[in-house]
Amino acid sequence: MILHHVEYPSRGEDTGVPVVFLGSIASTTNMWLPQLDALSANHRVIALDHPGHGRSGKPDLPAGEATVSDLADNVLKTLTHLGVQEFAVVGLSMGGAIAQYLAATSSRVTRAAFLCTATAFGGKEKWAERAQLTRAKGTEAMADAVVSLWLSEDYATTHPATRDWYRSMIRRTSGEGYAHGADALGCWDFASRLHRITCPVLTLAGADDKSTPPEVVHAIAEKVSGPATTVTVPGGHVPTLESADAVNEALAEFLA
């Protein structure tokens, strides 16, 4: 399927291939707003909504059958539709899993940044339970638990409007869209294939991330075959707004 996207051309001297952003399960392209603002100074930037997320259409696979490979195929189809061949990819959480798969399997990827992600996310049983819940009751049942992982406790307490904005983002994700992503994450296990990644890699972790702590994220850098850089920033599982300046600085340096 062709995914909904937002796109901004470079405002200055374009330094190379487009940069493609892939977000967390239950997110929309809005989670990348600080990065789209900052990096469009020198890059064409494109952010995509996953199936059943944001303004993308309903998932096109039966319940229980989605894989990260399927999600990656949607990304490649969308980029081909946009006339994009080579690209750099920035993926967070589920988006980071898709980015790992793309970097390992597609010659179109020139650089890959893996943010707050892992080579496995707890296995099929964990995600099957979540998929069943959201198919039955929607994402309202998950919203509080998810946002408590996305933001550090101190930041969520001192930024209640931001916390509620993220919570609304999660609640607006369709139950089937979340379940579709959960199906894919349940069977995700990529550690044995990381050596196939030969392009330059950045791993970026949130210091307070309880879902994918820094040691989990940076273990990816140790196993890829290409050159790798590691960065840890303040924040929880989605530090793109909480630590926007630090994330932007790391990405700008990596993509330059």
| Bridge partners of residue 111, in order along the sequence | 88
Q: Which residues contact 236 (CB under 8 A, 6 or more apart)?
A: 149, 150, 151, 152, 155, 206, 208, 209, 210, 242
**Model pLDDT, residue 61:** 87
pTM (2 decimals)? 0.97
Number of domains forming the structure of the chain: 1
Which of 192, 256, 202 lies closest to 227, judged by CA? 202
Strand, coil or helix: what is 10?
coil
Q: What is the pLDDT, as a whole number, of residue 62? A: 86
In degrees rounded to 5, what are phi and psi of residue 56? -75, 155
d(C-alpha 237, C-alpha 221), whole Å: 18
Q: For residue 196, what are the CA distances in angstroms to 74, 101, 192, 223?
A: 21, 10, 9, 9
Q: Look up the domain containing 219 and give its range.
A: 5-255
In whole angstroms, how large is the CA radius of gyration of the chain? Answer: 17
Side chain identity at residue 153, one-letter code: E
Contact 54, 125 (CB under 8 A): no
In CATH, what number is assigned to the domain containing residue 80?
A: 3.40.50.1820
Per-residue pLDDT, 15: 66
Mean pLDDT per block of 10 residues along the chain (256 residues) reads 96 86 98 98 97 95 92 98 98 98 98 98 94 95 95 97 97 97 98 98 98 98 98 98 98 96
